[in-house]
Amino acid sequence: MKFVVRGGKPLKGEVKLAGAKNAATKLLVASILSEEPSVLENFPIIGDTAITAGLCEELGSEILKDGNTVSIKTPVIKNTRVGLLTRRNRIPVLALGPLLARAGRAEVPVVGGDKIGARPVDIHLEALKKLGAEVTISGASYEAKAPEGLRGAEITFRFPSVGATENTLLASVLAKGKTVMRNAALEPEIMDLIKFLQKMGAIIELGANRTIYVEGVSRLRGAKHSILPDRNEAVSFACLAVVTGGDIFVKDAVQEHLITFLNTLRRIGGDYEVVNGGVRFWRAGKLTPTSIETDTHPGFMTDWQQPLAILLTQAEGVSKIHETVYEDRFSYTKDLNLMGADIIVTTECLGSLPCRFSGKFPHSATISGPTPLKGMKLEVPDLRAGMAHLTAALIAEGESEISGVEEIDRGYERIDERLRYLGADIKRIDD
Ligand code: EPU
């Protein structure tokens, strides 16, 4: 599947955010903790939720879809082995907790590195072991057992990993006794998971200094929940409004989820108005360069640097981005340079402090602008980089042909249709 895009049109109008990919997938898996039905509203119809729904069905879930509402129930765990097909995203490892809780055993595929880094799961496995699971690697799978059930434990994460925090939440809510998680991740999507688990009957408290307390309960029930709006989509549309010189009202965008981004956007020369029901974005004047450093929430999110980099190619002067979350998230800049950008990637830390990638990985970028971009043939490397390609194509002179758009479809609902509605010249072509 590919997109053919003709750049140069200002994008204007209103767009509604889909539910967050990185919450919807986790809530599907969380629903397996109960045999009762759960209902998820504002559910995004994207590639990653389809893959995760397939994973749940493999384990015994029955799923009904009605537009953006999904009902899921898992009366019986029919299978404790997650198949290799689900390796297309990072969700299989999160099935360990619910399977251990419901069936005392689990087997999930080893999810290897991908285009943005090695992405190990050592922090997840260490936490599960502390909760009493025996975990071994057998061929291409992790096998976990907890015949006596899991029990609460004190866990300190060496890094506030999103996935490891979610995995530990999923495993500890039905464990015997109390679990304390220190240095936990507190992303809005994790708060959404906590809200859903609380509705299901879990007892979870948030303490100071990134601490989460869980008091295990013996049983969870089904729950109804509306998934939070996708803040990554919000940032993508905001950058599109500013970089194309347009004006977009992003319906359902939540200021609280975007505070660091909004500050950065205003410094660069974008502007916004927070109103009831969303945020409107537009360009205030000429774009000025800046320096950003990605971080865990509430810092500047790693998934926001790619659309922002396109804005910075149009700013007058030199900008710097220091990526501190993933070691290899600048591969997309090679194509941008071929389109006419001036981006130099280095292993040095171009931020306030050295990070764990210093001298080892190409994790910082210097962007000099403004540089006009020219349309060309592009191949999408990964989801967020794909959105950067698409954004670049939408401001480039001439036509771009973007292949591998299934990666973009993994995370953005009907993106071509919504962009066309905002005035973009974009066509989807089946290969
Ligand atoms: N890490 C380890 N060991 C672990 C876990 C993580 O070394 O056991 C490292 C990772 O390799 C990475 C860093 O810690 O360098 C951050 O990983 P984290 O576990 O926090 O992220 P994740 O759960 O794998 C989720 C999102 C990402 C998002 C990050 C950061 C999902 C499915 N993915 O990944 O989203 O960038 O949190 O917020 O929720 C995307 O949507 O395209 C995407 C990549």
Report pLDDT digits (tens) over 248-301.
Answer: 999 999 999 999 999 999 999 999 999 999 999 999 999 999 999 999 999 999
Instruction: Read off φ and ψ for residue 415, nearest 5 degrees.
Output: -60, -40
Of 193, 226, 259, the residue at which a domain comes to its end is 226
Instruction: Read off φ and ψ for residue 203, nearest 5 degrees.
Output: -115, 110
d(CA 345, CA 361) in angstroms, rounded, equals 10
Do 198 and 259 fall into the same domain? no
Do 186 and 323 fall into the same domain? no
Confidence of residue 87 (pLDDT cuts 50, 70, 90): low
Taking residues 390-400, report their average pLDDT.
Answer: 98
Do 299 and 156 fall into the same domain? no
Return the ligand 1 atom nearest residue 117 CA: 11
Helix (H) or strand (E) holding 235: helix 231-243
Pick the residue whose CA is nearest to atom 28 on ligand 1. Answer: 303
Confidence of residue 140 (pLDDT cuts 50, 70, 90): confident
Q: Which of 427, 428, 420, 425 is nearest to 13 (CA)?
A: 420
Do 255 and 219 fall into the same domain? no
Instruction: Read off φ and ψ for residue 372, nearest 5 degrees.
Output: -65, 150
39 Cβ closer than 6 Å to some ligand 1 atom: no
The radius of gyration of the chain from alpha carbons, rounded to an integer in Å, stands at: 22
Do 207 and 161 fall into the same domain? yes
Contact by Cβ (8 Å): 309, 365:
yes
d(CA 127, CA 133) in angstroms, rounded, equals 9
Do 214 and 248 fall into the same domain? no
Do 251 and 309 fall into the same domain? yes
Do 308 and 175 fall into the same domain? no
Of 173, 196, 226, the residue at which a domain comes to its end is 226
Res 112: pLDDT: 59
The pLDDT > 70 percentage for the chain reads 98
Do 193 and 59 fall into the same domain? yes
Confidence of residue 17 (pLDDT cuts 50, 70, 90): very high
Instruction: Read off φ and ψ for residue 206, nearest 5 degrees.
Output: -105, 125
7: left (phi over 0), alpha (psi -120 to 50) or beta: beta
Do 161 and 299 fall into the same domain? no
Cα-Cα-Cα-Cα dihedral sign, residues 213, 219, 223, 227: positive
Residue identified by tokens 């899991």 is 150
Contact by Cβ (8 Å): 272, 39:
no
Instruction: Indicate the top mutation candidate among 46, 159, 332 to test ligand 1's pocket, ranked by most ligand atoms within 8 A of CB.
Output: 159
Q: Which of 235, 241, 232, 166 is nearest to 383 (CA)?
A: 232
Pick the residue whose CA is nearest to atom 44 on ligand 1. Answer: 303
Q: Is 21 one of the annotated binding-site residues?
A: yes
d(CA 412, CA 232) in angstroms, rounded, equals 9
Instruction: Give me the amino acid identity at 174.
Output: L
The pLDDT > 90 percentage for the chain reads 92
Q: Which domain holds residue 27?
A: 21-226
Which residues form the catalytic set?
114
Cβ–Cβ contacts within 10 Å for residue 120, how many? 12
Do 143 and 113 fall into the same domain? yes
Of 226, 253, 285, the residue at which a domain comes to its end is 226
Taking residues 95-113, report their average pLDDT.
Answer: 88
- DSSP assignment letter at 255: G
Do 197 and 316 fall into the same domain? no
Residues 170-206 have pLDDT tens digits of: 999 999 999 999 999 999 999 999 999 999 999 999 9
Number of structural domains (the chain) is: 2
What separation in angstroms does the CA of 377 have from each of 38, 133, 267, 338?
44, 48, 32, 10
Q: What is the CATH number of the domain that holds 396?
A: 3.65.10.10
d(CA 416, CA 344) in angstroms, rounded, equals 30
Confidence of residue 148 (pLDDT cuts 50, 70, 90): confident
Contact by Cβ (8 Å): 378, 401:
yes
Q: Is 243 one of the annotated binding-site residues?
A: no
- Per the confidence metrics, is the pTM higher than 0.85? yes
22 Cβ closer than 6 Å to some ligand 1 atom: yes
